[in-house]
Structure 1
Amino acid sequence: MKKPIYIIGTGLSHNGSAVLLKDGRICIAIEKERLTRIKHDGGNDALAIKYCLEAEGIKLSDVSLVVQTANFDIPNPKQFKGKRIFNDENSPEIITISHHLAHAYSAIGTSPFSEGAVMVIDGCGSPLSQYLALHPEEQKNIDVNLINESQMRCEKDSFYHFYDNKLTPLFKDFSEMEELTNDHLRMPTTKHSIGGFYAAISNYIFGDMEDVGKLMGLAPFGRTNKFNFEAFEFVSERLYVKEDWKNNFTNPSKGYDYFKEHFSYYADVAKWAQEQVEKAIVNCLNYRIKRFPHKNLCYTGGVALNAVANAKLQDCLSENTVFFEPAAGDNGLALGCAFYGWIAHLKKPKLMHDGNTCFGKQYLQEEINEIVKKELNENFKKIFFENEAQLLLYCAEKLNEGKTVAWFQSGSEFGPRSLGRRSILAHPGIENMKNHINRNIKFREDFRPFAPAVLKDSVTEYFEVGRHSPYMILVDKTKPEYLQQLNNVTHCDGTARVQTVDETWNPKFAKLITEFYKHSGIAVLLNTSFNKKGMPIVETPLEAINLFKETALDILVLENTLIEK
């Protein structure tokens, strides 16, 4: 029997992760934050790599290749809070690639295309010096004046072409780093990046540069045309962030109470920033596609997580087929590293991906039952369902009655969205359900929206465009006749961040929505991540039980075991 080829991909950034490829296909992957329980955790990758090896039942000696990336030069191991797993002569070959290259290969490896264009837009990629050290053959494509500058410049957007298993850079833009100051509108990354701009606005409004997702949720409450100045400009098809817009924003939030007191002002700022970002993204892609046309486009990098901008982009590029990488942030770097190892380094053909984005390990029912027996007292109702149909029927009836259900099934999702493996589910139309979940289960701000998970064949019934959106990464408009039935999953501007549920890789979740449809007449469920504010999505049955006990959740389903308060 032929020995399989295992490749480890690992991202040494914030939002660290590890991926194990087996003969060119993903067999296991995990984000570090799911294991350490620290949001956006990165650095030392030993824990994530051990998780992957143990889940697959192999040793490091079975691995043929390790591919890694880091924004800056790989630091001394001491800076990674302990030794890495590769610390003896028996370790596999290790190669390092640049940041945007890893982003690009994450989209290539998971896309349905055998060839196409690839766009990467984020806050900060590899420094130019590191990029040229890793890829010296690219020096001929970089302006000599840029190379001779003493100030550090980093990747901010890159455009590639993938064909015949080869990725060719067509247009790369580098930006100098922003100076380190205490300015509340300081760009945290490169000076002229879309991602840096969005993070700066997030810091201005929330006091946290990691809260960019909240910014997108706040924007619909704001008013268009409240501010009439521009944040971005293009010079010779290169994007720059202007400086003068900052003079108009002199009232940074002083905490959540202050934010609530001045809610309409901060919503207006968020609306302006969101619209500026949308225009910048669309213009940037239009420039690149016009110059290097191709019908297929992969889009990735942290900025590609902006679901509102993605929908605008899809509409503007109606002649193109666009694949939005679901793990577009730095958590996806490990995916790209692994695929680079298979395709570029080992010269193996790209294998078509099935669309699945759930790569966590499966927890055995026996293990779950032991934890339930140990951690839950007799005050909880416990039912084990031998028959899946009976479980689905029971849950659908309870959801239709207005109960909230924590849904823990199979391997966890890879990426920022819960897609029916680690989800909190509820009725999309029962009055005040959204507020109840935000206040008593998620413990987060009341303006935060929830997503509708809809059977993919029913999406055109409820939503105006009917976008194919299996990764909850595109918005649509709820049809007027369904606004009441979907009031908990429709934002204040009538939009919804839709998840179209694909039964080919999410069968049990699709069956649950189908069963709910029979009882409610609605082929949609409210879906949100199984966590609370500031917490990574739960990974283990024990974490699920602890959160269930801590919150106002009514029901917890762990595979075929149901617990009810």
Structure 2
Amino acid sequence: MIAQRSARGAEVVLGLCAYTHDSAAALLVNGNLTGFAEEERLDGTKHSKAYPARAVAWLLDRAGLTANDVTAVAYNFDGRRYLPALGQLPDHLARASTRSRALPRSRSFLTVHRRYRARMRELSQWFPHARLVPVLHHRAHALYSFLSAGVDDAAVLVVDSLGELQTTTIWHAAHRDEQPFHLRLAAAIRDPASLGYAYGAVTEHLGWRRGDEEGTVMALAALGEPARFRDVMSRAIPLTGDGFTLDPGLLPLRVLSSRYPRTSAEFTAVTCPPRPPDAAVEPVHADLAAALQERTEQVMLHLAGRATRLTGSGLLCLGGGVAMNCVAAGRIARAGIVDEVHIPPAPGDSGTAIGAAAAVWLDTTGQPPTGIGGRCYLGPAYPDLTLSAEPRPGLTAERPADPAQHLARQLANGTIVGLFTGPLEAGPRALGNRSILASPFTHEVVDRLNRTVKFREAFRPFAPVILADRAADYVQLGQPSPFMSIAAPVTALTGSRLPAIVHGNGTARVQTVTRHQHPFLASVLAAFGEITGHPVLINTSLNIKGKPICGTPEMALDCLVETGLDALLLEGWWVTKC
């Protein structure tokens, strides 16, 4: 099929994650990725569900295009595939454990299908000259995960809560010069068996926001004892020969409505009462989190092993929301199942905007798009930013002659600094362009960051960023980790000299940095290493709990004013409080 061209002669594919959590947009022009942005970083609403109007406007403006120039809109769900859920109705009605939810479940899937059709009509009005192409959600995840790795062969494992009816898929991807691009679905698990659903259900039971604070539960797990609820979680998420299932007596059948709780009265009886969000965190909560995390790791290891057997590939690409579980990813990396684990910078739903656009380009031309492999700094940048000497009341700004050296010296003196530089990074991890940096030498820094800057639970750990050629001195990783996606055991040196980056389970979720990947951050690390002996820093996201990573200079200045940050390096401007 020949792709239609815009009035300006370009083939323009706009990929969208819209009308659902983590709204985002990506743009391919003549098959090359020109940019990607998550709407939350621009509208200030964490996990924004809006149509990504700001992200789309930025992408088109940067490319010198308008909505009329878009030739195809790739949507990251195929709403027609919700309808097969109706075929599950007789089986759910026949079982006592699912009967009460069978009809509400079917009605909820019909409702989502109707909403999908309405959204397609809305998109056709936004882009009157474009083809609207729905893309299978897990295919979008798989394509992005593989293409971001920049390799020619890999197994791809996608695990999330729900994509149409799929919750877990295994793919074999290959791209060699002499052969056509190949992405084959090797296995699939359908809802109601969903690891993402289970993790979200227990997250909510423990008093944190499902779809947002699963990472908090993962962090809490390091402080608990899994044996207390090991049998419960094994019963809730049984392993099978081809994957896993869920016990509906403990984790009830999914209904696409918040009115239906995701844990049962029986689950409460054998674990603990639901924890109110403002209640104290007790040992029982840590123990339940630990059992959940342990079972998640067991399931992920089981699935990873099956992926390698089905594909014969030595590289495993992970995608979907569960791929953000860095502890499980670390377990897979250390298990000897594969040679290397790759996780893209945006493994959750926002990244499917890139994957959906890639799918449309691939299906149209037979060729994969370019510009995706190894890239994470894809969003808006503000290189020409100019500040006055007093950018806000109570703030002063100046331009140091050598920003990297200045920042390193300040960090060595114990200053906590926000860093806003270059294009906005993709995904949930701050990777040096929208980061908060601090010295890793004392626990007091961690306490201060949690208490006065991030305003979050004291047990939450902070991740390190390390020069890649020195990473082996500090973490037992054995592979690059440019997107801060893998938790690895720390070395004895780290445990004794850099306690602030060590979590309760003896691991650290590390970002490795090369000069090619991030010249400025590498220079800061090298300078900090010359001063302190260790090219390692705490790196956490430039935001406050409950708010998205700062995508604009104004948001960054707000973060400085509203938190205990000492300073902000904003596109070369050193901003401090008077």
TM-score category of the 2 structures, normalised to the smaller one: 0.7 to 0.9
| Partner-residue secondary structure (3-state), 1:173 | strand
Which of 217, 220, 229 matches 1:218? 220
* Conserved 8 A contact 2:69-2:129: no
Instruction: Please list, as runs of the form range in 1=range in 2, the aligned pairs for 1:7-406 lying within 5 A after superposition.
Output: 7-12=13-18, 13-70=20-77, 72=79, 84=122, 86-87=124-125, 90-126=128-164, 154-163=165-174, 164-175=180-191, 191-210=192-211, 211-229=213-231, 230=234, 231-243=236-248, 246=267, 247-256=269-278, 258-260=279-281, 262=282, 264-351=283-370, 353-365=372-384, 368-370=385-387, 372=388, 375-377=391-393, 379-385=394-400, 387=401, 390-406=402-418
Following superposition, the deviation at residue 465 of structure 1 comes to: 3.3
Contact 1:205–1:253 under 8 Å retained in 2: yes
| TM-score (normalizing by structure 2) | 0.83
Distance in 2, Cα, partners of 1:466 & 1:167:
28
CA distance in 2, matches of 1:44, 1:470: 30
CA distance in 2, matches of 1:16, 1:321: 30
Letter in structure 2 aligned against 1:27: T
Change (3 A) 1:89 1:472: closer
Deviation at 1:3, TM superposition (A): 4.8
Q: What amino acid is the match of 2:569?
A: V
Q: 2:468 aligns with which of 430, 447, 456?
A: 456
> Given that residues 308 and 337 in structure 2 are in contact (C-alpha distance below 8 angstroms), is that contact kept between their aligned partners in structure 1?
no
**Number of equivalences:** 511
Q: Judging changes above 3 Å, is the alpha-carbon distance between structure 1 residues 493 and 288 closer, same or farther for their aligned structure 2 residues?
A: closer
Distance 1:276 1:409, change over 3 A: same
Q: Say whether the 8 Å CA contact 2:159–2:319 is kept in structure 1.
A: yes
1:428 and 1:83, CA in 2 relative to 1: closer, same or farther beyond 3 A? farther
Distance 2:117 2:188 in 1: 33
- The Cα shift of 1:321 comes to 3.3
SS in 1 for 2:219: helix
Report the RMSD for the aligned CA atoms in angstroms.
2.3
CA gap 1:319/1:538 in 2 versus in 1, 3 angstroms: closer
Q: For structure 1, which segment, 528-537 or 318-327, has the greater mean C-alpha deviation from structure 2 after superposition?
A: 318-327
Q: 2-side partners of 1:532 and 1:399: how far apart?
A: 20
Letter in 1 for 2:567: I
Q: Which moved more, 1:3-12 or 1:301-310?
A: 3-12
Write the letter of the residue equivalent to 1:167: L
**1:185-225 Cα deviation digits (max 9, x unpaired):** xxxxxx32110110011011124212111111111111242
For residues 117 and 340 of structure 2, what CA distance do their matches in structure 1 show?
45
Classify 1:124/1:421 alpha carbon distance in 2 versus 1 (closer, same or farther; 3 Å). Answer: same
Report deviation, 1:171.
1.3
- Taking the aligned partners of 2:189 and 2:507, their CA distance within structure 1 comes to 33
Q: CA–CA distance in 2 between the matches of 1:172 and 1:354?
A: 26
Q: Distance in 2 between matches of 1:527 and 1:441?
A: 13
Local SS of the residue matching 1:331: helix
Q: 1:562 to 1:86 in 2, by over 3 A?
A: farther
Q: Distance in 2 between matches of 1:375 and 1:439?
A: 26
> 2:349 is matched by which residue type in structure 1?
D
Q: Equivalent of 1:504, from 501, 516, 525?
A: 516
- Cα gap change, 1:352/1:540 in structure 2, threshold over 3 Å: closer, same or farther? closer
- Unaligned residue ranges in structure 2 (runs of 5+): 1-7, 81-112, 175-179, 251-266
Q: CA deviation at 1:503?
A: 2.2
Gaps of 5+ in 1: 127-153, 176-190
Q: TM-score, normalised by structure 1?
A: 0.85
Question: Separation in 2 of the partners of 1:214 and 1:88?
Answer: 38
Cα deviation, residue 24, structure 1: 2.9
2:16 aligned partner, one-letter code? T
